[in-house]
Structures are given as C-alpha cells and as structure tokens.
Amino acid sequence: MSVIRRCLIRNSQFAIRNSQFLFARRNLKIQFLNLTSIRNSQSEIRDSNPQPAIRNFLPIGIFDSGVGGLTVYRALHERLPNERFVYLGDTARVPYGTKSLTTVERYAIENSKFLEAHGIKLLVVACNTASALALPAIRNAVGVEVVGVIEPGARAAVQSASGKTIGIIATEATVHSRAYARAIGAIDPKVTVIERACPLFVSLAEEGWVETEVTRGVAAEYLGELAGEGLGALVMGCTHYPILRNVIGETIGTDVPLIDSGEATAREVEILLNLKGLSSSPRESLADERKLCDDLDHFYVTDAAERFAKVAERFLGSAPSVLEAVEVWGHDELRTH
C-alpha cells in the first residue's frame, strides 16, 4: 500500500472519530473539510473558505522534531482548553540541529503539509531549529497561519528584562543560528544578549533526571558564568528545558525571570486566534473536562512510538490516549543548486 493511500486512510479515520465524538458529546452538526486527496490538499485548503462555525472547530497543529514540543503542547492546552490539538513528533529524523538548512526546510515542509492535510486552522512550529531556519519556507508551503517559538520568546524576554542583559540557553544548533539574538535585536538593538549551548539538558530531561545531583552539576557547569552577569531574563530556548526549570532557576538565581518560549507562544496563539476569529466557542463543561493527552487530541510519531509515550508520561504526567505511527516524507519539492 502506498504512503499516500495510508495517509488518506488515516486522515479519514481521524475525521470520522472526531466527528462521531462531537455528535455524541455536543450534539453539534459539524461537517469537517472533505480532504479527499493528499496530493491536492494544498490547493483545496487555499481555495476553500469554510464556514466559520466549521473552521473554528478545526484543531491546532503542532510539530516538533521529537518529544520536546510536548512542553509547547502543554502550554497551549492549559491556556486554550476549548481547543483541540494534532501533534506530530518527527522521531525518525531527530535531531534536526545537525542537519543542513535545505534538509531542515524539507523536513519542516513535509511535517507541515501532513498536518494541514488533516484539516487544521493554525500551525505551531514547536521546534526551535525549524523555527530558526524554516519559517519562511513553511509559510510559503501551507495555507494556514504559522507561529514559531523564537519570536514570542524574544518578545517576552525583552519585556521582562527592562533593558538588562538577556541570557539565552539552547542547543548548539539554535545558538549557532543566532536566531534569538537577531529577534531580540530587532525589538531592542541596545540590549546585550549572551548565549550558551546546553546540549546535555536534553538527555537529562528525557531520562527523567529532573532534580538529581548530576543535573545540578551539569547546570552549574553550563550556567555558572551566566549567574554573575546580572541578567534581566533568561530564555529557555529549547523545548526540553522547562522540564528542568527548578534546577535552572536555582543555579541562575531565583531573581532572574525564566522565559518559557512555549508559554510565550501560547499567549500569542491565543491573541492570534481572537484577532482572526478562529477561536473555538467557549464551553465551560469542556474546559472542566479536558485533560492533557485526552482523546480529543491526536498524536502522531514517525518512529519509536513506545518511547514517545514513555517520555510523554514523564513530561506531562500521562501518555497520549491516541497515538499513531506514520510516515510523512515524500517527494522533495525544494530545488538545490
């Protein structure tokens, strides 16, 4: 069976499951977008103009190179309890940080098109590397609003720092891209930015070594110099790092505001949904009933579903109720010269 055929079957199953749930639980007669062709889905979505009542009940798409984006999912879920989410973790091709610009763009476009084909109303790029390198390419490839994590984090840092030096901790790829420094400089060119790569934080978070002596030792090694810089804010520029918030805060100093780019992104998504008229109708009963990883949210991974579920349980306190392994890669539409 071809990849396109499998994706079509999964897309139909997903639409039927969610339609049945909404009919049974809410007695709402909602018709979802009839996406009958993965190959033609881009033009269908761009050319269609679904009724607001239908469009507003579509889920928000989120993708990351792996499991770190679950902290962004959590921030969105907590801030927007009336929304549904479709999450894609590209666990077969992680990490993105070691890949070339062209490769990161290709991966990001494939992920974005996969989610758009499932009928989303907005896309959140939870991967810092993809946000740093591929946002323009993603926005050209899909017909929905796209929000990255770097600019919201930069804006929150500038606001909190009040002109003081801003620290950035991130993976080596994000630090080398200087994406946060550029974003902060575009807002306030006078602000000094200091960046530090903290690659071991990723493994420590995924292994659940959240508040161990090993983690404290690694944090002291990475952050010791930053602690004496009189920072006005410290940006946790990797989606794994909020898992280690307590240790990071203890090491850098409790008086330094920690900026979670996922939380900053969730605030901006809420604003954007309201501005574009895309918010789901408030329903108190739904907000009260919603749980992280419940069956209203659908999770996809490209490999290692069992490990993803275990790490999700560490990060979120529960494993996804609906988790499916898929393939998203296809024809490379980028030209290389």
Question: So which residues are the catalytic ones?
Answer: 127, 238
Closest of 134, 110, 112, 116 to residue 43, by C-alpha: 116
Which amino acid does the sequence have at 32? Answer: F
What's the angle, vertex CA 172, arms to CA 169 and CA 175, rounded to 5?
55
* Tokens describing residue 209: 């070594």
> H/E element holding 19?
helix 3-26
Instruction: Give the integer Cα–Cα distance in Å for 218 and 198.
Output: 9
* Tokens describing residue 81: 């309890």
β strands within the chain, DSSP E: 60-64, 85-89, 122-125, 145-147, 166-170, 193-197, 233-236, 258-260, 298-301, 323-325
Instruction: Give the integer Cα–Cα distance in Å for 292 and 178.
Output: 33
If you write DSSP's letter for every residue of 61-102 in order, what string do you get?
A: EEEESSSTTHHHHHHHHHH-TT--EEEEE-TTS---TTS-HH
